[in-house]
Amino acid sequence: MRFAVAAGLTAGMALAGCGGGKAGEPMASGSAVTGTITVFAAASLTESFTTIGRRFEVAHPGTTVTFNFAGSSALATQINEGAPADVFAAASPKNMQAVTDAGTPATFVKNQLVIVVAKGNPKGVAGLAGLTRPDLKVALCAEAVPCGAAARTAIEASGVKVTPVTLEQDVKAALSKVKLGEVDAALVYRTDAKASAADVDAVEFPESAKAINDYPIVVLKTAKNPAGARAFVDYVLSSEAATVLTGAGFQAP
């Protein structure tokens, strides 16, 4: 699995990539980039990072990028418990801070919530207030997960009360509930809705602007392949990767 971002992100990423010893620091001249690079990444990055990983391997023959996609909180726990990883890309700074062996992260994109419903929006959901209807089944992410924390912030900003029938451990699981017809609506990232546009419709709502998530990325201090990890992070911060990320619906940092 692999990943990349768009022209609108280039300036912000260039700034994020400056500084010695930090995520995105340019590779030293002559540094060899080979071997396997293990990337732990938020579930919402699945499609984008899969593409970026493939392109990175083409640009760096002799490398293999492997991914572990899951909720950011679960990934942070795995890293702290000793799971081998070279790079961590989280869907919120809070989950990045929870990793005790993280270096200095760089924010590379932002993401925003939408309401996803079945194609054609058969229940006529128009905003968060519509999710309070007793005839609707709603899925949210658990609050420990970035998409769940963002959902709570947005819902609180709206002044309504949404009672979910399920709390999922990552955004893909919440989206899947709608795709399978097990719930009528879910709060997920705009990027996930876009990736599944053939199966669901997205309903924008103004309160989502109060709950935009920053996505940080870092080379872990315990990386087994630090040269490869730095090269991968540099690629994520590049204009080439920016094209993939903004094309997927991510916003500039």
C-beta pairs of 154-161 under 8 Å, 24+ apart in sequence: 154/113, 154/128, 154/187, 154/205, 154/207, 154/208, 154/210, 154/211, 155/128, 155/207, 157/207, 157/210, 157/211, 158/127, 158/128, 158/129, 158/205, 158/207, 160/128, 160/129, 160/131, 160/132, 161/132
**Strands 138-141 and 185-189, sheet pairing:** parallel
Helix, strand, coil % in the chain, rounded to nearest 5: 40, 20, 40
In the block, tokens 């899969």 appear at 50
Confirm whether residue 171 is marked as ligand binding: yes
Residues in Cβ contact with 141 at an 8 Å cutoff, skipping those fewer than 6 apart: 71, 147, 148, 151, 167, 168, 169, 170, 171, 173, 174, 187, 188
239 is annotated as contributing to ligand binding: no
Is residue 189 marked as binding? Answer: yes
List the binding residues for molybdate: 44, 72, 171, 189
List the binding residues: 44, 72, 171, 189
